[in-house]
Amino acid sequence: MPRLHIRTAQPDDVALILALIGELAEYEKLSDQVVAAPEQLTEHLFGERPFAEVLIGEVDGQAEGFALFFHNYSTFLGKPGIYLEDLYVRPTARGAGLGKALLGRLAGFAVERGCGRLEWAVLDWNQPAIGFYQRLGAEPLDDWTQYRLTGPALRDLAEKAL
């Protein structure tokens, strides 16, 4: 049985985190969208005002996956929540229980921190992930459509709002 270990990322993990982000992007066929630099991750994860947290998942002492998450807030519940931005386990480590262990640690954080929920998004075509999440008891939010503003549209709206 493989030995699993989940630990909180440290500043010297930035290169590893960036490599795992690249592997996730390749899996999701989104490699062309990765523009994050080590300096950005260092500042945003470990700087004066961290915007997100990262867990590193290890199998037999080797880093094989990660979970990047941050807090959000539910006005309906009147409680904070945790939003899982990225969950990735290297193909060679899949099936060892690392994904479940990472999500389990996040669920523990949510309970310890008084959160009302743990949420994330998954690409519609990613049936292995969808099946995995459903086996854990997660439910899709089919009534919601996710929206995003980026690049010029984000800047245009910001400028028009002034």
Residue-level pLDDT, tens digit, the chain, 162 residues: 899 999 999 999 999 999 999 999 999 999 999 999 999 999 999 999 999 999 999 999 999 999 999 999 999 999 999 999 999 999 999 999 999 999 999 999 999 999 999 999 999 999 999 999 999 999 999 999 999 999 999 999 999 987
Q: Give every CB contact of residue 15 below 8 A, 6+ residues apart in sequence.
A: 38
Angstrom distance (rounded) from CA 27 to CA 91: 10
The domains located in the chain, with CATH, are 4-161 (3.40.630.30)
Cα 112–Cα 114–Cα 118 angle in degrees, nearest 5: 90
Q: pTM of the full predicted structure?
A: 0.94
Task: Report how far residue 83's alpha carbon sits from residue 118's, in angstroms, rounded to the nearest whole number.
Answer: 6
Residue positions annotated with a catalytic role: 133
Say if residues 103 and 120 touch (Cβ distance below 8 Å).
Answer: no
